[in-house]
Amino acid sequence: MQTNAVPLDTYALCSTLTATSKVKDFNFGKQIHAHVGKSGWFSSVFVGSALIDFYSKLLNVKDAALVFDEMPDRNTVCANALLSGYCDDGLCVKALELVRKMPVLKLKYDRFTLSAALRACTGLSSVEIGRQLHSYLLRTTPDLENDVFLQSALIEMYGKCGMVEKAQLAFKLEGMVIRKEKSRDVVLWTSMLGVYGKNGHYKEVIDLYSEMLQEGIRPDGIAFLTVISACGHTGQVHAGVKYFESMTNDFKLDPGPEHYSCLVDLLCRAGELHKAWELLNETCHYKGIGNCSVSMWGALLKACVDSGNLELAKLAAQRALELDPQNAGICVMLSNLYARFGMWDEIERLRVLIKQRGLIKDVGCSWVQITN
């Protein structure tokens, strides 16, 4: 368009930024940003929102925030785009700060704003702010029972904070407008399944899944992942394998690497390490290496380390490192097993390998809320 002297309009700029974010071409996006600044398009809230969305999707929220601050005119859509970026990048404190700032900027909340705010509370396990948002929703959203995304955000927020009963109330809408009939939306059911699973209520996972089928609701991949995991934690190996097979046989869903990892964990918890090994070998052989993942072999390796199966652990680690030679976690797990057997020469070889490849294991951290 520029070569042929065709002037760019709002639609062209927004469409180009959307396409650029999908192909993750950061440099070209920066060029568009420079053109927007030179040509005066910053006055358009549509172009500004597209720029914020572009930077957010590339997890460059610092630049997204700069665009938001520099815009002469802003609306709720712009703020929501930045909120989404903060949540996706794990900057939940920043997200809540922006939510608090919006009334000062004379920007109204909408459903997306509140859903993102609940996501931020979930990320921080901040039940107090989550309760305040819940109260605000009850006062301002009369048709909350019809908003799947807000309800699922409420369910997940309470679940992440360990308040399973509150999540159940949000799922059933008790204390609000009682639902005349149960929701047909799989998102709500999957959210509640996830809450039960993450809080160790494995029997409830299986019961709710059965109820879901009785209601004629088609489960998705996430639902299967949760119920197979629940079977693993309750020792129901046969049932877990049956659910796994049901994915393809009954619902025509293709299991992903996460489902195979879950099935491997199920078999390993039951002491069936060699069956898990055979499953992974068969999967990678018939479906191709592209369908295998480090997490699948990592699940087997962890089980081998826990049970002290040195021979199988070596094989699992070898396969995992073939897929991801830079995975420090695999080397650390294998090193721990070597230490248990006093194999110090093998540990030294691993240390040399880790040093040669410059591998660094990410350090875990967590937040704990104390009063306010």
Query: Cα(89)–Cα(86) distance, rounded to whole angstroms?
Result: 5
- In the prediction, which pLDDT does 57 show? 86
Query: Cα(336)–Cα(359) distance, rounded to whole angstroms?
Result: 16
Q: Which of 195, 206, 190 has the alpha carbon at shortest distance from 166?
A: 195
- In the prediction, which pLDDT does 370 show? 62
Cα 109 to chain centroid distance, Å, stands at: 24
Cα 288 to chain centroid distance, Å, stands at: 25
25-60: b (≥16 Cβ within 10 Å) or e: eeeebeebbeebeeeebbebbebbbbbbbbbbbbeb
Look at the alpha carbons of 230, 248, 191, 161 in this order and tell me if their dihedral is positive or negative: positive
Other C-beta atoms lying within 10 Å of the C-beta of residue 274:
11
- In the prediction, which pLDDT does 180 show? 44
Which tokens hold the place of 248? 């393809």
Residues for the chain: how many in total?
372
- In the prediction, which pLDDT does 178 show? 38
Which tokens hold the place of 69? 């601050």
DSSP conformation letters of 262-295: HHHHHHHHTT-HHHHHHHHHHHHHHH-GGG--HH
Query: Cα(193)–Cα(219) distance, rounded to whole angstroms?
Result: 11
Q: Which of 170, 182, 54 has the alpha carbon at shortest distance from 122?
A: 170
- Is 242 within 8 Å of 250 (Cβ atoms)? no
Which tokens hold the place of 341? 């057997």
Which tokens hold the place of 133? 């948002």
- Is 167 within 8 Å of 158 (Cβ atoms)? yes
Other C-beta atoms lying within 10 Å of the C-beta of residue 17:
24
- In the prediction, which pLDDT does 65 show? 93
Which tokens hold the place of 277? 């090994």
- In the prediction, which pLDDT does 173 show? 64
Q: Supply the pTM of this predicted model.
A: 0.79
Q: Which of 62, 63, 67 has the alpha carbon at shortest distance from 48?
A: 67
| Average pLDDT by stretches of 10, the chain with 372 residues | 55 78 80 74 78 87 92 91 94 96 95 96 94 93 86 94 93 53 77 95 95 92 96 93 95 91 91 91 69 84 91 91 88 90 90 79 57 56
